[in-house]
Amino acid sequence: MRNNIYSILRGKFLVSDDAFKNWRVIIFISVLAIVMIASSHSADQKVYEIAKMKNEVKELRSAFVDGRSKLMRLKMESSIIEKVAEDGIVISEIPPRKIKVKSSIPD
């Protein structure tokens, strides 16, 4: 048992006669580890990108709501009256009437 541990620590399994099998396994495991690390980094990068996009969506939604509320205030009648009063236009005291046109086109 003790000799087996010392032979592993000294690396005899890498230089013995059947070392080619051991090297293949070590290289295969190393390649798998590299692929796993690359995949992990790629996933992390995508998570950061998703978080960044979520923040951007929140900012854009907030700007949209702000713009919509400004538009609502500008469309109010009192706001329009104030804006046109600066140009000297006032509200008519006489309410508007509908004009009905009867067509005289013969059938």
Mean pLDDT across 29-57: 97
pLDDT surpasses 80 at 13: no
Q: What is the pTM of this model?
A: 0.54
Mean pLDDT across 37-62: 97
Q: Is the dihedral of CA 83, 88, 92, 93 positive or negative?
A: positive
Q: Can you give the pLDDT at residue 107?
A: 59
Mean pLDDT across 35-64: 97
Q: Can you give the pLDDT at residue 17?
A: 73
Mean pLDDT across 21-40: 92
Per residue, what are the HEC states of the chain? CHHHHHHHHHCHHHHCCCHHHHHHHHHHHHHHHHHHHHHHHHHHHHHHHHHHHHHHHHHHHHHHHHHHHHHHHHHCHHHHHHHHHCCCCCCCCCCCCCCCCCCCCCC
